[in-house]
Structure 1
Amino acid sequence: MTAHTIGAITRRSLLLSGGAVLALLALPRQLRAQEPLKVAGIYTVPVEQQWVSRIHKAAETAKAAGAVDYSYTENVANTDYPRVMREYAESGVKLIIGEVFGVEQEAREVAADYPEVAFLLGSSFPPDEALPNVAVFDNYIQDAAYLSGIVAASMSKGNIGMVGGFPIPEVNRLMNAFMAGAREVNPEMKFQVSFIGSWFDPPKAKETALAMIEGGADLLYAERFGVSDAAKEKGVLAIGNVIDTQADYPDTVVASALWHFEPTFDKAVAEVMAGTFTAADYGVYSFMKEGGCSLAPLGTFEGKVPDSAKALVAEREAAIRDGSFTVAIDDSEPKSS
């Protein structure tokens, strides 16, 4: 098994720029005062992929702070996932993180064989008290997705194309929240919704997005890599998801719903260090009020988004944070309208 490192001048180094420095300073004191905890990440896609990149970024930030000794393996096939889990567990790793959506049963069977190892797994299923060493998490960033929908509707004439990976709860809830935010601004908004059947296939995502533009979409929801490329090529706008890609598409990406995995990761590390890690649902740490998500700065579009939309975003964000407004968690498959 090879633990990969990240070159200082590669694209992966961007994962640690900007906000990562602030996250490092914000780490709980106990995470900086003890010996580094051995942590391993097991990912079925490259660490550049949006969703996994946020986990990887949080782990690298904690590593830079001296809180963890972090290694990882990427591009692991579902059929190979249990083997990699076992190898890390037997190597002395105390916390294993990763996504097991395609290998739920097998991953939990492995975890049962290593009760002294903590597992924090991205999962569609709830925690099981019979497996006290397995906690689950998910990207519950519907709050930020709702706000991005408000921005999107203010920049569209009424037809938005949405390209997703698979219609699973983790994707559906973000799309539905985005659509709800857009409909608050324009109740008559039309949506084209499609899923490409892959977590990482930029060419297919681009092809799907181009078809939506041909179908009248003047703004795209880029749940997958490749969508913003289509938007840029055809001169339409896009909304990002999970990460902020505006630097790569300064005239295309208006805003993005960002996932901040640091609250989830830091909580798990602290619990393992304290000996109190147990079966729990860490999804709540992705909520906006927990610091788990945010709307990216408008940046190059600061002066282009209508003031009325910015005011509504500010109003809704304040209400979300104080609990007076709740974004619905809708895991049902979104449909075209």
Structure 2
Amino acid sequence: MLRRTFLGATALALGLAAAAHAQDDGKTKVGFVFVGPVGDGGWTFEHNKGRLALEEEFGDKIETVYKESVPEGADAERVMTQMALSGADLIFSTSFGYMDPTINVAKKFPDVKFEHATGYKRADNVSTYSARFYEGRAVQGLIAGHLTQSNKIGYIASFPIPEVIRGINAAYLAAREVNPEVEFNIVWAFTWFDPAKEADAAKALIEQGADVILQHTDSTAPQAAAEAAGDVYTFGQASDMAEYAPMPRVSSIIDNWAPYYIERTRAVMDGTWESQDTWDGIAPGMVEIGEISDAVPPEVKEKALALKEAIAAGEAHPFTGPINKQDGSAWLAEGETADDGTLAGMDFYVEGLKGEIPN
């Protein structure tokens, strides 16, 4: 009991000291918790670009701090607690597995604002935000369906959560639309960032005959593996990965977080911040399509850009019926589009995909 009392008093003292510090320097302090290294070339790289954009936008009015390569779970809760104790006014936790740790820490620090990426749990001081990555996956799928000669497309998946399942389904449907013979081979890596595992997954898919590789993992290792194999197309994930253009990387999905980070930080600074849920896509610019390289035939590039523009204009939706579920049961009727509730909790493959989703 004495130890708990001592620790509680210490935490209170640290909290008071942090608050005094924040009031003294007048800066808004913004913290970022990253699941990978800032140099991963993908997901975390783009989130860190958003952090740097904050510094450029607000200059000496703010202070940003970050912690990279934080495992999902108890370590994340510890890191966020330390940031809050050190005077952070706003904390962005940038991975799905940070959801419960974010909620737990937010309860202890009701005056600190939290923003959790890709989750669904909110509170008075916790907002959620994500991007409609599946819109970009549809554009990739269209290109992939045209490019494959073997009719085998490989997909490196991270974790079996709705975000990843949506992407697989969207890419497959778009590829099948332009190439009814296409098959998807899916490897579950069970990691967001592990270059060795990602490279092994890419090599395995190539050995199985895949000549196009898509990925929902964060490193450039699959690009390097495809480059070494030759005659294999890839797509950048979360970041442009343009260093591998024009081959094997022929386009990319780019996550543009900077405008959101600036908007939400400004809301904290001017006192207008409120808890909300944001899910933006191609139209608002949160999802961008990286330059389509000259390795893609002009007519295919034209079709891909037309799909991008149609999605942005609301004239096309990656999930438009008729679509059945994998077991053959009806899901969407002719012309019907998927509602956000179903997409947010998607836990099934569409008809035509093989294999099972891991538990």
TM-score (norm 2): 0.76
Partner of 1:212: 205
1:154 matched to 2:146? The reply is yes
Q: Using a 3 Å threshold, how does the CA distance of structure 1 residues 272 and 324 change in structure 2: closer, same or farther?
A: same
CA contact (8 A) 1:264 1:282 kept: no
1:122 matched to 2:117? The reply is yes
Partner of 1:141: 133
| Equivalent residue in structure 2 for 1:198, among 191, 196, 210 | 191
Return the offset for 1:62: 1.5
CA contact (8 A) 2:99 2:116 kept: no
Partner of 2:261: 265
Give % identity. 28
Partner of 2:277: 281
1:291 matched to 2:309? The reply is no
Partner of 2:324: none
Name the stretch that deviates more: 249-258 or 156-165: 249-258
Q: Using a 3 Å threshold, how does the CA distance of structure 1 residues 81 and 314 change in structure 2: closer, same or farther?
A: closer
Residues 31-79 of structure 1: CA distance to partner in whole angstroms, max 9, x if unpaired?
xxxx753101012321233222221111111212335321101122322
1:188 matched to 2:181? The reply is yes
Partner of 1:7: none
Q: Secondary structure at the match of 2:237?
A: strand
Q: Secondary structure at the match of 1:290?
A: coil
CA contact (8 A) 2:115 2:128 kept: yes
Partner of 1:64: 56
Partner of 2:7: none
Return the offset for 1:209: 1.6
In structure 2, distance between residues paired with 1:144 and 1:124: 19
| Equivalent residue in structure 2 for 1:325, among 312, 316, 322 | 316
Partner of 1:167: 160
Partner of 1:110: 105
Return the offset for 1:220: 0.7
| Equivalent residue in structure 2 for 1:76, among 70, 74, 99 | 70
Return the offset for 1:290: 0.8
Aligned positions, number: 295
Larger RCO (CA under 8 A, 6+ residues apart): 1
Q: Secondary structure at the match of 2:279?
A: helix
Return the offset for 1:333: 5.0
Q: Secondary structure at the match of 1:92?
A: coil
1:316 matched to 2:310? The reply is no
CA contact (8 A) 2:223 2:244 kept: no
TM-score (norm 1): 0.81
In structure 1, distance between residues paired with 2:250 and 2:118: 30
Partner of 1:27: none
CA contact (8 A) 1:36 1:66 kept: no
1:305 matched to 2:324? The reply is no
In structure 2, distance between residues paired with 1:336 and 1:228: 24
Q: Using a 3 Å threshold, how does the CA distance of structure 1 residues 169 and 261 change in structure 2: closer, same or farther?
A: same
Partner of 1:32: none
Return the offset for 1:307: 2.6
Return the offset for 1:121: 0.9
In structure 1, distance between residues paired with 2:193 and 2:38: 11
- Alignment-mate amino acid for residue 115 of structure 1: P
- Alignment-mate amino acid for residue 264 of structure 2: A
Structure 1 segments, 4+ long, off by >4 Å, are none
Q: Secondary structure at the match of 2:87?
A: coil
